[in-house]
Amino acid sequence: MRAFLLFLLVLARLLWWDLHDKVLICISWRRARDYIDRHVSGRARALCALASFSVGVRFRIDIREETLPAQMIIVANHQSVIDIAAIMAAFRFHSIRFVAKAELQRWFPAVSRVLRVQRHALIRRDGEYSRAMHTLDRLADSLRHGECPVIFPEGTRSRDGKLLPFQSGAIRRLHARRPLPIVVLALDGGHRFATMKDVLRLPHRHEYRVTLVGVFPEASGKRELIEQIQSAHRKIEESLHSWRCDR
């Protein structure tokens, strides 16, 4: 019952936002983009609040955003679609741009429209390598002040919550085109939202965490960047292990 309530509440909110944004786009595409940039973090926080109200999820976000660079590449592990909302909710003063699968650009109310209007990097998993690299280059070239790309270097969701090996290609490509500091986030609890069956079995007061675990300065070369990516993997793995040992 709680999961069904969550589904209805989220769907109703997304459909309303989708209609609102569609009307704005018809009036002015630029105005729609500026509006979404200003309000998307608040929308994400509203979705998190609905999850807290309906199924009792406790969101724990440990990030001091004011201490972070004005622009950065954000690297995080990935467990479910809720990670996207949680990261957007965590960053009120930075505008987030995801590197995500192209399937999200259609059929998801509000979400798909936001990804298209804000020009996130949507990549086909079965597409050509050169086209994927062109999409990343276009993202890097289009970044405005305060806009920060987010990469899930595992390449897919971890449905059991275990950290997968990192694929460094997207990070290296973005950094080569737009050298920026790297900020590392550890996320946990999202794998319990992988399917509706998982949500039905969700324990009351389930905790979802987003924590800043590392900040690396702009790498001076490929070797230093590779070391930073490897260190990011270790930091996330250590955080996940520590949290689960404390339960």
pLDDT per residue as tens digits for the range 7-22: 899 999 999 999 999 9
For 133, half-sphere exposure in the C-beta direction (CA atoms, 13 angstrom radius) is: 9
> Which residue type sits at 37?
D
* pTM metric for this prediction: 0.93
Contact status, residue 186 vs residue 60, Cβ threshold 8 Å: no
**Buried-exposed string 128-139: b where 16+ CB fall within 10 A, e elsewhere:** eeeebeebbbeb
Number of domains in the chain: 1
197-245 tens-digit pLDDT: 666 677 777 899 999 999 999 999 999 999 999 999 999 999 999 988 8
Rounded distance between C-alpha atoms, residue 229 and residue 219, angstroms: 10
Ordered per-residue pLDDT tens for the chain, 247 residues: 677 888 899 999 999 999 999 999 999 999 999 999 999 999 999 999 999 998 889 999 999 999 999 999 999 999 988 999 999 999 999 999 999 988 888 889 999 999 999 999 999 877 788 899 999 999 999 999 999 999 999 988 888 889 999 999 999 999 999 999 999 999 999 887 766 666 667 777 789 999 999 999 999 999 999 999 999 999 999 999 998 887 6
Find the radius of gyration of the CA atoms of the chain: 18
Name the strand (E) or helix (H) holding 182. strand 182-188
Q: Which domain holds residue 179?
A: 2-246
